[in-house]
Chains A and B, each alone.
Chain A
Amino acid sequence: EAGVAQSPRYKIIEKRQSVAFWCNPISGHATLYWYQQILGQGPKLLIQFQNNGVVDDSQLPKDRFSAERLKGVDSTLKIQPAKLEDSAVYLCASSPLGPWTDSSSYNSPLHFGNGTRLTVT
């Protein structure tokens, strides 16, 4: 099966500019996640979608970050305006987990894309 697709692979912007990242999850996967990974750290969860609804966005800096998942498939993550500390790799992941899922599917692993490396100068 095709994996999680993300674009662009790299992005360099100046502070206060805007940027958007795109994610196409594995076909049929109901749940989509965005993670932020700062150099030297493990990935940090930003937001979780189930179909086109937000399940958890408690770690998303909502004054500058926004995300949407229209039609419950592709998703975009936007930063506006960017700060120097936003420099990181932004990872998208998906899993088949859904509200109708039986308990065994909660053991389905998350599949990650290769991320977008953002540099803010």
Chain B
Amino acid sequence: DAKTTQPPSMDCAEGRAANLPCNHSTISGNEYVYWYRQIHSQGPQYIIHGLKNNETNEMASLIITEDRKSSTLILPHATLRDTAVYYCIVRGDRGSTLGRLYFGRGTQLTVWP
């Protein structure tokens, strides 16, 4: 079952930063926060993941609060191609869930010109 809460939709102007929030108040100490996105008619695409520290890659930055109960995905300069559904997922470890991903409904991000 999904352990995250995300707003159903957001929009952002092209060229501006898109900040997508996620609440995961029941996250346990060994669970990671993963972000995927899904562009229409495609499979989910991995973006970034983190445990405690903030992470950055060529696609985005992930900011995790100190208590780990929430996080924010930042797309620094959104483009029209970033329009997609963004999923925040808490991923289990090698325990009972064996690293499975459980998706919620995600956030529909619309980037407008």
CB distance from A30 to the nearest CB of B (A): 11
Nearest B-chain residue to A43, judged by Cβ: B103
Query: For the complex, what is the distance from the CA of A107 to the CA of B98, rounded to whole Å?
Result: 11
CB distance from B47 to the nearest CB of A (A): 9
- Do the beta carbons of A110 and B2 come within 8 Å of each other? no
CB distance from A92 to the nearest CB of B (A): 8
Query: For the complex, what is the distance from the CA of A12 to the CA of B42, rounded to whole Å?
Result: 18
How many residues does chain A have at the interface if contact means C-beta atoms less than 8 Å apart? Answer: 28
Residues of B within 8 A of A55 (CB): 98
Query: For the complex, what is the distance from the CA of A71 to the CA of B3, rounded to whole Å?
Result: 34
How many residues does chain B have at the interface if contact means C-beta atoms less than 8 Å apart? Answer: 23
Nearest B-chain residue to A108, judged by Cβ: B99
- Do the beta carbons of A97 and B43 come within 8 Å of each other? no
Give chain A interface residues in 57-115, CB to chain B under 8 Å.
91, 93, 95, 97, 103, 106-107, 109-115
Nearest B-chain residue to A6, judged by Cβ: B43
Show 29 residue pairs from A and B whose CB-CB distance is below 8 angstroms, ordered by the A residue: A31-B99, A33-B101, A42-B85, A42-B103, A43-B44, A43-B103, A44-B103, A45-B101, A45-B102, A48-B98, A48-B100, A50-B98, A56-B98, A91-B43, A93-B101, A95-B99, A97-B98, A103-B94, A107-B32, A107-B49, A109-B34, A109-B49, A110-B101, A111-B46, A112-B45, A113-B43, A114-B41, A114-B42, A114-B43
Instruction: Among A40, A43, A91, A103, find the residue whose CB has the most chain B CB atoms closer than 10 A.
Output: A43
Residues of A within 8 A of B46 (CB): 109-111
List 17 additional contacts besides A43-B103, A112-B44; criterion CB under 8 Å.
A4-B43, A33-B101, A40-B105, A42-B2, A42-B105, A44-B103, A45-B100, A45-B102, A56-B98, A93-B44, A103-B94, A107-B32, A109-B49, A110-B46, A112-B43, A114-B42, A115-B43
Query: For the complex, what is the distance from the CA of A98 to the CA of B22, rounded to whole Å?
Result: 29
Residues of B within 8 A of A31 (CB): 99
